Structure 1
């Protein structure tokens, strides 16, 4: 099976390539922009499967479909965005969240091999999806949490949160006064409820607010280490594949 990867962040593209090759698949090409992708499709036979990032360096990847009739099935790769996922789910599009987990990657390919129908790509309304991504409906984000302390319930305001983290299959809220509270949700669910301008998921384990960053240090393997005011239980590390996006987020 021949596969191409369209991803503007070259380290992320190479990482996905290594994961796919580890599973025994051949990568036909790594493409990094709308323009490069259009040129490639005009001069090459279409692959069996495309892994496609949404936001490329020169625009949304959907712009490729304005110029080229894509004949290959697509699995979208995206950093978590509620509106992107909503657009995908409404149009029955398969997607993977970054950073891409190897088990989820293998499951997505198996799903493609078992279920995909050749006419599925042409039936997707990419223009409608693009509108949902560019002009999302304004939403209200969570500004407080209720947590249980014995037989009591305490309200923690969003400004009191120093970080969220996962541990032993539980999700915890750590406050600026150095207290930890167990939450009845996952980090994935929290991401959808938090304002992305104020909170960022730096890894599979941590979501941190901008206001809690005390210091940022260089770390091994091109990663970053975040120093928080009171949380000291574990190193707070920005995953390597998220470093570039994290730097953009902090401005």
Structure 2
């Protein structure tokens, strides 16, 4: 399996290359800009698979495909950008959130190996996705959720949820009344359903609602600790890799 990496952060590109090497994926080259990628595609046979970041040093990677007709399957490896996530899920092999998790990467590579989509199946409407990225449209996000409580169905309004969290392979909604409700979903499936104006994924385990943050405290290793109005059963820590994006989200 031949692959290339398009990523402007060289340490991240080298780490991804090491992970792919352990999965027996042959990385032909690592490219770091739109211009460099266009030149490479024009001079070389297209690979089976592209590991593609979105924000490159000289523009959006989608500009590559204004010039080049893509003939490869794509796995997105990019920073959190929720308003485009659903489009990527429908049009690509997978979407991996930085920092790349070893197990998620292996699953994505196996998914490609199992299905090996045809050109028709992997064709991506880059113009539509670029519109989402540059001018994200206001879309409807989920306003309520349901949870089974005994023989009853509990309706939970999104604005009543202080946080969503995973525990023991279950996904829970912690509400303002101090209760935790087990949901029939996963954090990954929740991702495109939650408004990015209200919810942010601070770690692999937690989404928090900005309207219910009581305090934010400096924590060890350049991380942050979040205190919510009611939820206090577990520490909520913003992972170091997401602190910068979290601070931008708060503004």
Match of 1:116 in 2: 116
Match of 2:3 in 1: 3
CA RMSD, Structure 1 to Structure 2 (Å)? 3.5
Length-normalised TM-score, structure 2: 0.76
CA displacement 1:184-240 (0-9 Å, x = unmatched): 3222232222211110112221111123331142433x5443333443333322334
Structure 2 unpaired stretches of 5+: none
**Take 1:230 and 1:137, find their aligned partners in 2: how far apart are those partners?**
33
**Take 2:142 and 2:49, find their aligned partners in 1: how far apart are those partners?**
38
1:87–1:133: 8 Å Cα contact kept in structure 2? no
**Take 1:137 and 1:111, find their aligned partners in 2: how far apart are those partners?**
30
- Between stretches 207-216 and 121-130, larger displacement belongs to 121-130
Match of 1:86 in 2: 87
Note the C-alpha offset of 1:114. 5.2
Match of 1:190 in 2: 190
**Take 2:149 and 2:139, find their aligned partners in 1: how far apart are those partners?**
30
**Take 2:20 and 2:151, find their aligned partners in 1: how far apart are those partners?**
49
Length-normalised TM-score, structure 1: 0.76
The answer to whether the aligner puts 1:237 opposite 2:237 as a matched pair is yes
Match of 2:37 in 1: 37
2:72–2:122: 8 Å Cα contact kept in structure 1? no
How many pairs align?
Answer: 248
1:50–1:73: 8 Å Cα contact kept in structure 2? yes
Kindly tell me: are residues 20 and 247 of structure 1, through their superposed partners in 2, closer, same or farther at Cα, counting changes over 3 Å? Answer: farther
Structure 1 unpaired stretches of 5+: none
Alignment of 1:1-251 (within 5 A): 1-9=1-9, 12-41=12-41, 47-70=47-70, 72-78=72-78, 79=80, 81=82, 83-86=84-87, 89=90, 91=91, 93-99=92-98, 100-113=100-113, 115-116=115-116, 124-135=124-135, 138-213=138-213, 214-220=215-221, 223-251=223-251
**Take 1:231 and 1:13, find their aligned partners in 2: how far apart are those partners?**
38
